[in-house]
Structure 1
């Protein structure tokens, strides 16, 4: 009896499971047979403002793929539509789903540009915080730092150009986090050697940044200079601020010319004059003439002395006779001793008696004084 009961229970559970599956299939078929009631597009992410694409343009893209109001839900491939939308450069992420009211919700996350880059040919493009190059297509005015002098506008970048673009991205992300420099930096010029020069929004000067190494420290030093020196001296007092040297800011006031050195003639550098003269030859004629004048070798002035050897005959000379009531003048003896290697020959003084150079006249007392 119990065996029949167990069999009956299993049969009932099987019928209930089959019924549930049947009802689920019917419900699914009823759902997929329904049509879209509406399409809703929403911009999400850091900003909901339409930068490159708005809701109408997204709706038009869906319409081109056959997704419109009244489309049968079963015919919509959500995954394929998401992949197609993410191929658009201005779209960072796309999510689509259909709710129970047959409403197609489309959530679009835009790529947000952080800088505008101008190439040497005059074309330009945007870059976002991940380094993606975005074509110029904007629906709103964007206030972004401008980089000029990028070497190429090709999509496939070489290794040096790709590295330079990463440095531009690093520079942009660094100033993005600082509200002061976001407002102060108006333009950044890229030199032919890859160095960066900053043009500020306020002030008539140029800031030499150099490479992006220790960029945060360079900007901190520049901010300190602005705060403690620049404001007190006047915003237009300087023409160049050089941040390339560690721990300092080299400022050049207006009206002054920077010190220029010939190749190989840096301060405190030991270099031969011949090497410096060779370096001048590669410069222009006017500059080379000035620098060559400063490179002339200084020839020491040698004063030739004709040393006459005078034999010392003082020992053989008779004593000077003193005559009374006559003024006697001491005999001047000129002695010029020839030096060898700037050292006196000490051997000449060995075993030689000292003799008086001159005999002073004796004092003669007058007779008148004696009588008195």
Structure 2
């Protein structure tokens, strides 16, 4: 019985060729010189962060990139450095096949702006603080009062609901956190206050408010009220 047939020899040669080509390609890829850097922003957010700022993080410890091989770059360390930037939600750093060091960046999304004795900053979609930007100012509700008495998860849930709803985003311009944890909101076009109460039944309260607003606009009664109370989930109580 013949073990080495022409078919078997051909198969072994083909496998050896594939291994050689793969190893050769891997060697060339690892020793490819870095040609340039490129920053790509994803998402629909306005640019709070300049590409130059991210680019600086990429080259900070590798100032002469064009002399480096791909294998000499610590991509995990670079990615970690970029992700630590206060305005970045997530970044992926990699080298393309043509030798370009790329950073694909998703910025944080501001959903509220806080004013207190320490200054001003944004609240992002996860409820964390986010610094202001010199490049762009977001049109988000102004947050004031005792923000520390409300769990950041619940406050950010309220703010996310406002941000995702076209009507609410257009109309709600301010949220005051009272000492007992209740929220008082301000409308863009009318002087009445919206007594939202505590951060519970959030969707139900906003649905009630939108239904009330649509009816009150038709009746031309919005100018008559001082307070719109949303504390009760089955009704809206108005105070003149």
TM-score interval (norm. to shorter): 0.7 to 0.9
- Structure 1 residues 26 and 207, CA, compared in 2 at 3 Å: closer, same or farther? closer
- Give the number of equivalent residue pairs: 239
Pairing partner for 1:196 from 183, 189, 193: 183
> TM-score of the superposition, structure 2-length normalised?
0.84
Q: Counterparts of 1:21 and 1:215 in 2: how far apart (Å)?
A: 60
Equivalent pair of 1:38/1:103 in contact (CA under 8 Å): yes
Structure with bigger helix share is 2
- Structure 1 residues 65 and 227, CA, compared in 2 at 3 Å: closer, same or farther? same
**Structure 2 stretches lacking a partner, 5+ long:** none
Q: CA deviation at 1:183?
A: 1.0
> TM-score of the superposition, structure 1-length normalised?
0.57
Work out which structure has the larger RCO, using CA pairs closer than 8 Å and 6 or more positions apart in sequence: 2
1:49 aligned onto 2:36: no
Q: Counterparts of 1:55 and 1:62 in 2: how far apart (Å)?
A: 11
**Structure 1 stretches lacking a partner, 5+ long:** 153-160, 254-372
Residue number in structure 1 paired with 2:82? 85
Residue number in structure 1 paired with 2:167? 180
Q: Counterparts of 1:12 and 1:146 in 2: how far apart (Å)?
A: 73
Pairing partner for 2:102 from 82, 101, 105: 105
Q: Counterparts of 2:204 and 2:141 in 1: how far apart (Å)?
A: 20
Pairing partner for 2:195 from 204, 208, 214: 208
- Structure 1 residues 231 and 124, CA, compared in 2 at 3 Å: closer, same or farther? farther
1:52-111 per-residue CA deviation (whole Å, 9 max, x = no partner) reads: x22111111111031654132221122222222222232222222223321222211111
Equivalent pair of 1:242/1:250 in contact (CA under 8 Å): yes
Q: Counterparts of 1:136 and 1:40 in 2: how far apart (Å)?
A: 24
Residue number in structure 2 paired with 1:72? 69
* Partner SS for 2:86: coil
Counting only pairs closer than 5 Å after superposition, residues 306-325 of structure 1 correspond to structure 2 as none
Q: Counterparts of 2:8 and 2:210 in 1: how far apart (Å)?
A: 81
Structure with bigger strand share is 2
Equivalent pair of 2:208/2:233 in contact (CA under 8 Å): no
